[in-house]
């Protein structure tokens, strides 16, 4: 009988490879990221999927854009990416879903991500994976409060917030889910 590949395995293996390529022990990565050694071990063993906030901390520790943590889940650069072929990652705890509309490629600078956050959520990132990362966020539905580098923005459908992330950020939803497209360059 053929065993199915665990859904977290590719991400787990990639995180382990990044850690070892950076010459870090689990304890070193825990200290650098603020994620407990036990949680890191469970992630690397594909026992759990990391939360959105944990992925943000790991991206920062490795000084990579968040999309590069998802790189093993993406295919090589296809010119056309059908909706059914776009990879999806979900954080059940926060009701956050991330769809790679245009998966990242080393040959392209821009990527589009479609996200949805469930009602009543608060997702905070202590710092960007790398300072100055350019974001363009277009809110499609719902309402979203986004705090970027200490400045709070109340977004409604159709609003577009453009920013270069230098410090902490926080995404908050009210009584409705928020769905948005974010372009990262």
Which helix (DSSP H) or strand (DSSP E) does residue 21 occupy?
helix 9-21
**Fold classified for 9-65:** 434 Repressor (Amino-terminal Domain) (1.10.260)
How many whole angstroms from its chain centre is CA 54?
Answer: 9
pTM: 0.65
Q: Is 12 exposed, middle or buried (0-12, 13-18, 19+ CB in 10 A)?
A: buried
Q: Label the pairing between strands 111-117 and 122-125.
A: unpaired
Banded model confidence at residue 133, pLDDT cuts 50, 70, 90 = confident
What would the pLDDT profile of 51-87 be if each residue is shown by its tens digit? 888 988 998 898 877 767 766 555 556 677 788 888 8
Q: Which residue has the higher pLDDT, 139 or 94?
A: 139
Does the structure show a pLDDT above 80 at 93? yes
| Bridge partner list, 124 | 170
Cα dihedral sign for 42, 46, 51, 57? positive
Q: Are the C-beta atoms of residues 113 and 97 closer than 8 Å to each other?
A: no
pLDDT of 168: 93
What would the pLDDT profile of 167-184 be if each residue is shown by its tens digit? 999 999 999 999 999 998
What would the pLDDT profile of 107-116 be if each residue is shown by its tens digit? 567 889 999 9
Over the chain, what is the mean pLDDT?
86
Distance CA 175, CA 21 (A): 43
Cα dihedral sign for 89, 51, 107, 9? negative
What would the pLDDT profile of 34-58 be if each residue is shown by its tens digit? 999 999 999 999 888 888 889 889 9
Instruction: Name the residue ranges covered by the structural domains of the chain.
Output: 9-65, 71-184
Does the structure show a pLDDT above 50 at 1? no
CATH number, domain 71-184: 2.60.120.10
């Amino acid at each position: 009988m053929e065993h199915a590949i665990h859904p977290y395995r590719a991400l787990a293996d990639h995180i382990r490879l990044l850690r070892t390529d950076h010459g870090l022990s689990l304890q070193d990565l825990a200290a650098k990221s603020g994620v407990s050694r036990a949680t890191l071990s469970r992630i690397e063993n594909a026992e759990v999927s990391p939360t959105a906030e944990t992925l943000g901390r790991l991206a920062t520790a490795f000084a990579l854009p968040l999309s590069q943590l998802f790189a093993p889940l993406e295919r090589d650069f296809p010119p056309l990416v059908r909706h059914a072929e776009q990879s999806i990652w979900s954080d059940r705890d926060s009701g956050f879903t991330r769809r790679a509309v245009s998966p990242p490629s080393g040959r392209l600078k821009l990527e589009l991500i479609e996200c949805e956050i469930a009602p009543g959520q608060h997702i905070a990132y202590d710092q960007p994976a790398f300072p100055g990362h350019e974001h363009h966020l277009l809110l499609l539905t719902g309402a979203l409060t986004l705090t970027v580098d200490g400045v709070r923005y109340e977004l409604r459908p159709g609003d577009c917030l453009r920013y270069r992330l230098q410090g902490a950020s926080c995404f908050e939803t009210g009584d409705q889910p928020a769905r948005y497209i974010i372009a990262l360059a």
